[in-house]
Amino acid sequence: MNFDFDPADEIFRQEVRSFIRDALPADIRERNLRNYHANRADTRAWTAIVHRRGWSAPNWPVDKGGTGWSAMQQFIFDEENFAAGAPLLETGGLKMIGPVIYTFGTPEQHERFNLPFLRGEISWGQGFSEPGAGSDLAGLTTRAERQGDDYVINGHKIWTTNAHYANWLYLLVRTDPTQKQRGISLILVPADAPGVTIRPIIDIGEGHSLNEMFFDDVRVPVGNLVGEENKGWTYAKFLLDRERAFSAEVPRNKRNFALLKQIARHTRRAGRPLIEDAAFAARLAQLESDLDALTWMTLRALARQGDATWELPVGSILKVRGTELQQKIGEMHIEALGDRGAYVYPEPDFATGEHHWPPGPDYAPGLLADALYRRAVTIYGGSNEIQRTIIAKQYLGL
Ligand SMILES: Cc1cc2nc3c(=O)[nH]c(=O)nc-3n(C[C@H](O)[C@H](O)[C@H](O)COP(=O)(O)OP(=O)(O)OC[C@H]3O[C@@H](n4cnc5c(N)ncnc54)[C@H](O)[C@@H]3O)c2cc1C
């Protein structure tokens, strides 16, 4: 059996690698290689650069403004970006709401939202979860009432990632209170519309990526509805399955695993490199075989995209295995770092003009905050308990 990539894919990999080497701004690369979370300014800047090369929608078809790349090329592109310290292109627009708009929305909505998004001009926030509706998302109560040519929205959303950077929000709202799934719609709302309030939630790593959002008589035109009224649940399922498949994050896991080996080679314990400790090395080997299994599962899933005869709930399976691996690798980073992993180093304030990176090896400062953040990956996009229930019902027939 030959596990090598095709020669044409290898040529493509070299093309992507040399583009990133020439085009990625040094400050963005440096922040990422120190393992700080990419901020939205970096993501937008990188999106604009990649757009000029014609590559800002690796997973979209050519007639929608995408590259039309094969699944393998998309995978290689993500791998090379991660390995080089480039930020992820904005997942919310690229892999979630963008495809929903060009599949279920109007051509005008594609022109109005998707094309500016590809130029790095739109950042999205996903307003699905509510204080009383997370796992039971269909129980959401944020209301959108039709009044003439507008919808008037009232309600409360929570856990919205990066809402404070977003200029547009996509919300699931209740348009028919007499129904559950069949009474939900998907609507696009400007983040600065009168009546929208966005408040920060600070996370365990002292970072601000999460928010809650309040909607008080927010008026949006009916033209902002995506698809049909009360069909939002169908669109949400389409979108969430993409979110789950993405959660396997093989390129991130690969990069973080390579980093773990690097730390273990550089760290000395009991007079020798940690990587030579038999117990630690055995755990590394287990992680490596889990990572290989996840990689091949992901590549199989990519190769069979759109194949209706393949009934595996792939999104849920990849989500469970990929997120658990992220957490295990993150925990071992911290263990291997020793004292350096005991403190959350805030990112230096570049705005002051006078900044110093924290002491210690380059790769260390952002790792504890990242490992703490990774506690959430088994929760967001639908918790792993819920994914296990989906696998049990859909595949095992339990
Ligand atoms: C970092 C982070 C970012 C997020 N970003 C966004 C975002 O951008 N937009 C957005 O809309 N939402 C976002 N979320 C919200 C996320 O989707 C929800 O937290 C998630 O769906 C779980 O819902 P909940 O928090 O209400 O927990 P609950 O549904 O209250 O669940 C609590 C616990 O009970 C378990 N549980 C619940 N029901 C069952 C069941 N039937 N069977 C077995 N176990 C069950 C769950 O697995 C979980 O462990 C984010 C969350 C986090 C942590």
Q: What angle do CA 290, 327, 338 make, to 5 degrees?
A: 110
63, amino acid identity:
D
Domains of the chain and any CATH numbers: 7-89 (no CATH), 124-228 (2.40.110.10), 247-394 (1.20.140.10)
Say yes or no: CB of residue 385 within 6 Å of ligand 1: yes
* pLDDT at position 218: 98
Confidence at residue 354, expressed as pLDDT on a 0 to 100 scale: 67
CA of 246 to the centre of ligand 1 (A): 17
> How far apart are alpha carbons 48 and 314 in whole angstroms?
32
The per-residue pLDDT for 182 is 97
Question: Residue 2's pLDDT is what?
Answer: 66
Q: Is 79 a catalytic residue?
A: no
Q: What is the pLDDT of residue 15?
A: 97
Contacts with 329 (C-beta within 8 Å, 6 or more apart), sequence order = 253, 256, 257, 260, 287
Question: Between the CA atoms of 98, 102, 104 and 106, what dihedral angle is there, to the nearest 10 degrees?
Answer: 120
Query: Is any atom of ligand 1 closer than 6 Å to the C-beta of 382?
Result: yes
Q: How many A from CA of 136 to the centre of ligand 1?
A: 9
> Residue 383 Cα, ligand 1 centroid: separation in angstroms?
6
Element (H, E) at 109: helix 107-109
Atom of ligand 1 nearest to the CA of 389: 42
Pocket flag, ligand 1, residue 201 (CB < 6 Å): no
Q: What do you get for the CA distance between the two ends of the chain, in Å?
A: 35
Strands, E, within the chain: which ranges? 124-127, 143-147, 150-158, 168-174, 184-190, 196-201, 210-221, 225-226, 268-269, 272-273
Give the global pTM. 0.92
Catalytic pick among 79, 130, 212, 243? 243
Q: How far is the CA of 323 from the centre of ligand 1 (A)?
A: 14
Residue 93 gets the label, from left (phi > 0), alpha (psi -120 to 50) or beta, of: alpha
The reply to whether ligand 1 has any atom less than 6 angstroms from the CB of 134 is yes
Q: Which residues pair with 272 in a beta bridge?
A: 269
In order along the chain (398 residues), what is the average pLDDT of each group of 10 residues? Answer: 80 97 93 85 89 93 94 91 92 92 97 93 95 96 98 98 95 98 98 98 86 98 98 92 77 95 94 96 97 91 74 85 96 93 79 75 91 93 93 88
Which residue has the CA at smallest separation from atom 23 of ligand 1?
134
Which pLDDT belongs to residue 240? Answer: 83
Q: How far is the CA of 326 from the centre of ligand 1 (A)?
A: 18
Rounded to whole angstroms, the Cα distance separating 39 from 43 reads 6
Between CA 76 and CA 10 the distance in angstroms is 9
Pocket test for ligand 1, best of 157, 159, 240, 390 (most atoms within 8 A of CB): 159
What are phi and psi for residue 139, nearest 5 degrees?
-85, 10
